[in-house]
């Protein structure tokens, strides 16, 4: 369970415009439902985002090398998001939707909120970097009308349930790699940022707690996935790389793309299994909670040495 930290991101709950909130957004019908991609950092979300971009999805103007949507990072990747009020979360969701679709101009209250979010350093992001994101978000860039859209930002899984309440037809793709391999990854940014809210204060940056975080995240996201039905796709990255033709076909079906008119040859040429698959075998599994190892196996991943 996520432990809440009662801190608010803005000095005052923003005043919300009345045209967008609290029901399936009217504009969703015009711009089609968004597709969001998330996962524990280093799970392979970059590859799935690349697949969407190659098929004409708009995933943002302000992207990093990994195709993370940095507008989403500014708005949602912060400890305080876990305690944001419903009205504050409404505001943030509306900002993201309006800027990603070009459907409406930002209100003065929304502009103030964006600037407040970029005003001070936060864990993992200094204020000067956040201000660059805010400047981009406040710019006039917009996608072409009716473009299919979405975003990739691994931390999306932290708030996907709250987003789904507002964007009621949004699709979510959760990408997952073998937790035993992930425990030995150099990318432990999520454990650093969110670990105490999943595990408690008494944790450390170690493979043991990395796997425990991985298990807690996936137990939670699979429960959320049950409520989303056919709008939720759980992608085993190891399987996707080992059998990309099947993986792409499954992804196309989820995205409702016509496989006849959407060839996959260009994507097949760039998908490769990373050398890090199976790296846990060099370290063994004795250092982990065996219940966590059993959960990894239950999700269909290799746990044999």
SS (H, E, C) 92-149: HHHHHHHHHHCCCCCCHHHHHHHHHHCCCCECCECHHHHHHHHHHHCCCCCCCCCCCE
pLDDT at 1: 52
pLDDT at 2: 59
User: What's the distance, Cα to Cα, between the start and end of the chain in Å?
Assistant: 31
pLDDT at 15: 38
Tens of pLDDT, residue by residue over 169-218, are 999 999 999 999 999 999 999 999 999 999 999 899 999 999 999 999 99
Q: Which fold has domain 33-298?
A: Rossmann fold (3.40.50)
Q: Per-residue pLDDT for 61 more than 80?
A: yes
pLDDT at 12: 43
Report which listed range, 172-176, 257-261, 269-273, is most confident.
Answer: 172-176
Mean pLDDT, rounded, for 122-147: 88
Which pTM does this prediction carry?
0.90
Mean pLDDT, rounded, for 65-91: 97
Share of the chain above pLDDT 70, in %: 88
């Amino acid at each position: 369970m996520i432990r809440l930290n009662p801190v608010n991101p803005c000095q005052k709950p923003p005043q919300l415009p009345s045209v967008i909130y609290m029901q399936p957004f009217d504009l969703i019908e015009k711009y089609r439902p968004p597709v969001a991609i998330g996962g524990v950092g280093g799970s392979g979300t970059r590859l799935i985002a690349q697949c969407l971009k190659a098929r004409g999805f708009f995933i943002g103007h302000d992207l990093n090398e990994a195709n993370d949507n940095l507008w989403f990072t500014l708005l949602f990747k912060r400890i305080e998001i876990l305690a944001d009020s419903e009205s504050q979360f409404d505001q943030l969701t509306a900002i993201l939707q309006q800027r990603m679709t070009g459907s409406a101009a930002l209100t003065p209250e929304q502009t103030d909120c964006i600037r407040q979010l970029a005003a001070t350093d936060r864990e993992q992001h200094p204020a000067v970097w956040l201000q660059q994101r805010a400047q981009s978000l406040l710019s006039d860039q917009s996608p072409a009308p009716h473009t299919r859209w979405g975003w990739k930002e691994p931390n999306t899984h932290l708030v996907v349930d709250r987003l789904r309440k507002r964007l009621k037809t949004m699709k979510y793709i959760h990408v997952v790699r073998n937790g035993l391999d992930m425990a030995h990854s150099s990318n432990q940014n999520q454990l650093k940022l969110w670990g105490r809210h999943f595990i408690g204060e008494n944790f450390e940056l170690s493979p043991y707690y990395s796997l425990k975080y991985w298990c807690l995240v996936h137990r939670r996201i699979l429960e959320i996935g049950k409520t989303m039905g056919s709008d939720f796709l759980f992608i085993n990255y190891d399987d996707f790389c080992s059998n990309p033709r099947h993986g792409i076909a499954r992804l196309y079906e989820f995205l409702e793309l016509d496989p006849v008119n959407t060839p996959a040859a260009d994507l097949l040429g760039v998908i490769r299994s990373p050398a890090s698959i199976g790296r846990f075998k060099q370290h063994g599994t004795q250092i982990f909670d065996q219940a966590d190892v059993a959960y990894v196996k239950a999700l269909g991943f290799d746990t044999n040495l």
